[in-house]
């Protein structure tokens, strides 16, 4: 009897249990979904690895650029060795500096011309002030004193003395 009950239980279990092929059909979509989800996670992981590799390469490239720039700066500092670069030398004449009068004469001529210009302007200012004080004369004397300098001013003084003599005679 025990055997009979065990056999009936076994038949009942077989009758009510799904067939292995049917169970595979039911489990196959779940299995496929799990497989796709696993594949998706693997791809995400690979994508992250590629991003990290790219970032590492970029950082390595930046480090190399900075090292090259630093090496360039160091070579520039060694080149000058702490000294500022000198301006290019002035053009000198061929003769020895102790015997060179040409360079000295050029400088003296410049100074003389500036001095003459200042004297011409001062004489023209004096003529202008004298004309304004006497209330006689014209602006032509100012231009003449400015252009000719001492000669124009001497001519103005001579004409002025001549006019002064005539004015004094008329007053007497």
How far is the C-alpha of 14 from the C-alpha of 5, rounded, in Å?
14
**Two tokens, residue 168:** 């004094």
Q: Are residues 117 and 158 in the same domain?
A: yes
- Please tell me the predicted confidence (pLDDT) of residue 101: 58
| Residue 148 belongs to a domain | yes
Find the domain containing 49 and state its range.
42-75
Would you write out the chain's pLDDT as a tens digit for each of its 172 residues? Answer: 777 778 777 777 666 665 555 555 556 777 888 888 999 999 999 999 999 999 999 999 999 999 999 988 888 776 655 555 555 655 655 555 555 555 677 888 889 999 999 999 999 999 999 999 888 778 899 999 999 999 999 999 999 887 765 444 444 4
The 3-state DSSP composition of the chain as helix, strand, coil percent (nearest 5) reads 80, 0, 20
Q: What is the DSSP string of 106-131?
A: HHHHHHHHHHHHHHHHHHHHHHHHHH
Q: Whole-model pTM?
A: 0.39
Tell me, yes or no, whether 120 lies in a domain: yes
């Amino acid at each position: 009897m025990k055997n009979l009950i065990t056999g009936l239980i076994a038949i009942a279990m077989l009758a009510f249990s799904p067939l292995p092929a049917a169970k595979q059909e039911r489990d196959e979509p779940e299995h496929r979904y799990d497989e796709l989800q696993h594949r998706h996670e693997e791809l995400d992981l690979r994508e992250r690895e590629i991003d990290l590799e790219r970032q590492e390469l970029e950082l390595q490239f930046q480090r190399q650029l900075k090292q090259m720039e630093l090496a360039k700066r160091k070579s520039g500092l060694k080149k000058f060795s702490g000294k500022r670069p000198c301006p290019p030398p002035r053009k000198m004449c061929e003769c020895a500096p102790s015997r060179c009068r040409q360079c000295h004469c050029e400088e003296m001529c410049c100074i003389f011309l500036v001095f003459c210009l200042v004297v011409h302007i001062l004489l023209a200012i004096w003529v202008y002030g004298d004309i304004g004080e006497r209330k006689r004369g014209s602006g032509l004397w100012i231009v003449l004193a400015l252009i000719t300098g001492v000669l124009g001013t001497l001519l103005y003084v001579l004409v002025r003395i001549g006019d002064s003599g005539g004015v004094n005679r008329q007053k007497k």
